[in-house]
Structure 1
Amino acid sequence: MKYRRALRYALSILALLVLAPAVVLVALHMPAFGGQLLAYGATVNAHVPSMRQATNVVTAIIFDVRGADTLGEEFIFAAAITGLAVLLRGGRGEDASREPIHADGRQLPARSEAVALLIRWMLPATIAFSLYVMAHGQLTPGGGFQAGAMLASALLLLFLGDGYRSWRQVVPPVVMQLLEALGAVGCVAVGLLPMLLGAGFLENVLPQGQPKSLTGGGLIPLFNVAVGMAITGGFVNALVEFLEETRVPKEGDS
């Protein structure tokens, strides 16, 4: 065991020594803050807001200009969550329980009424703000990725306030798995929709709407929602798998 630990330390130090010069070179050659925009950035800033009626240029790039890349990233995320589930279930089996988590030697703290009350106030507000971030992704900083992570975190608050059993009853894994699958399918459907109208994959064929309004962006809001669904379901599924790892199965569980 000591030999393996020493080997890991040695490999880590070696990796740092190899990568450190590259990090320094990148840092030294970065453009100065507030400096002149490169040609790509200047072109995007000049044309995308008027072409898509989207004031958040970053979201317009992610969900329109380079939408095919984003679609690939979405399926990388789905594959990662699937790999996580396969890896962890391979050790403990497929069973998932609504019983509170427990592990030998770990003292479960008593439920705090004050924490539960605070979280019951925070939960609806966090969910509402997450939906706001998702809906306004083409207008202000945010979008499907950020909103999905926020929604998953909001649902985790229920576990922190009311415990594992209540959390599992309100957030059943099968629903989250379905949500992730529908989000991934929705991303592809958004890309295929223009093809039904004779356009290219992910080509923005919907009306652009009005600037600074929820109707702006054409396909961008639909892509946003699909990504938000997939990210929410994926993160919650990951949380279920990690929490199940600390539960001691009852006799007879698979």
Structure 2
Amino acid sequence: MSPRIRLLVFLLACVCLVPAVFHVADRMPVFGAHPLPYGDAINAAGTRERHVTNMVSAVNFDYRGFDTLGEEFMLLCAVTGTTMLLRGSRGEHITARPGQVEGRPIPARSDAIVLICRMLAGLTVLFGLYVALHAMTTPGGGFQGGVIVACGTMLFFLGEGYRGWRRLMRSEFLDACEGGGATLYALCGFASMAAGAPFLGNILPLGSARDVFSGGLMLVENAGVAFAVAGGFAVLFLEFLEETRIEQDGNGR
């Protein structure tokens, strides 16, 4: 198909779609309107039935917990596929020597950058853990907290460089966190069925509302999500940064 024909097809599609877009936009609710009753029903029942004050977590881990399980395994499959593609092209050897392009030397890090990254890396990881632990009381949860924890590892890389970062980051540990977290979430559902409850139905004490450890089984599911997401994103960082290292030869040099 020539560029002129493709452009013609594109313009025809626009002519057909633009009236539909304006039709939908014209009938959208006014700004600030709340026409859907689902959110109101969850807000009214969540604290009473699940003893949590973060209704997003109640939806993610209880009312629609099976959907979240599917999302976790979608992330697991995506990270696994990326890992297989990258490792398959470069091999499994591990070195601590960053690659260097001729004419582009690696600049030395200033003391200020090292100090700032060392301070912020720990604080970022702690904040990620805080966000994950308070999933039942305040906005946040295992997914958000896991991403923040993984970002903390990147700050460590920026401060310590590839060699120091690679000594800490081990693919075996990160793979276990990712797969173990997703497995823990699935096991929560099977544990509920073994206890005679529906899949992912709560079988643990719900605790008190506004307490960090309220929510019953949702706490365990949230922990599984936190481990899976932190491990998954850290594995992605590891694999992409491994693409920049110097390959070992057959003698391991």
Asked if 1:32 corresponds to 2:30, the answer is yes
Distance 1:74 1:119, change over 3 A: same
Contact 2:98–2:244 (CA under 8 A) maintained in structure 1: no
TM-score between both structures, scaled by the size of structure 2: 0.88
Instruction: Give the TM-score normalised by the residue count of structure 1.
Output: 0.87
Q: Which moved more, 1:153-162 or 1:82-91?
A: 82-91
For residues 14 and 242 of structure 1, what CA distance do their matches in structure 2 show?
41
Letter in 1 for 2:141: G
Deviation at 1:50, TM superposition (A): 1.2
- The CA distance in 2 between the partners of 1:26 and 1:49, in whole Å, is 36
For residue 246 of structure 1, report the CA deviation from its aligned partner: 1.9
- Paired residues, what number? 252
- What's 1:146 paired with? 144
Give the alignment's Cα RMSD to 1 decimal.
3.1
The 5 A counterparts of 1:91-106 are 91-106=89-104
Give the percent of matched residue pairs that are identical in Structure 1 and Structure 2.
Answer: 43
Which of these residues, 76, 85, 106, is aligned with residue 108 of structure 1?
106
Q: Secondary structure at the match of 1:41?
A: helix
TM superposition outliers: structure 1 runs of 4+ over 6 Å:
5-23
SS in structure 1 at match of 2:235: helix
**Corresponding position of 2:47:** 49
Q: Is the 8 A contact 2:95 2:248 kept in 1?
A: no
- Which of 219, 230, 233 aligns to 2:231? It is 233
Alpha-carbon separation, structure 1, partners of 2:27 and 2:87:
46
Relative to structure 1, the CA distance from residue 168 to residue 16 in structure 2 (aligned partners, 3 Å threshold; closer, same or farther) is farther
On the 8 A contact 1:206/1:218 being kept in 2, the answer is: yes
The equivalences for 1:157-236 within 5 A come to 157-236=155-234
Q: 1:63 aligns with which of 61, 64, 68?
A: 61
What is the CA-CA distance between 1:133 and the residue it aligns to?
0.3
**Cα 1:118–1:211 shift into 2, 3 Å:** same
Tell me how far 1:182 sits from its aligned partner.
1.1
Say whether the 8 Å CA contact 1:112–1:161 is kept in structure 2.
no
Alpha-carbon shift at residue 108 of structure 1 (Å): 1.5
Deviation, 1:173, is 1.5
Q: 1:101, 1:244 within 8 Å by CA — same for their partners in 2? A: no
In structure 2, what residue type is equivalent to 1:229?
Answer: F
Contact kept? 2:181, 2:225, Cα under 8 Å: yes
1:15 and 1:167 map into 2 onto residues whose CA distance is 50
The one-letter amino acid paired with 1:82 is T
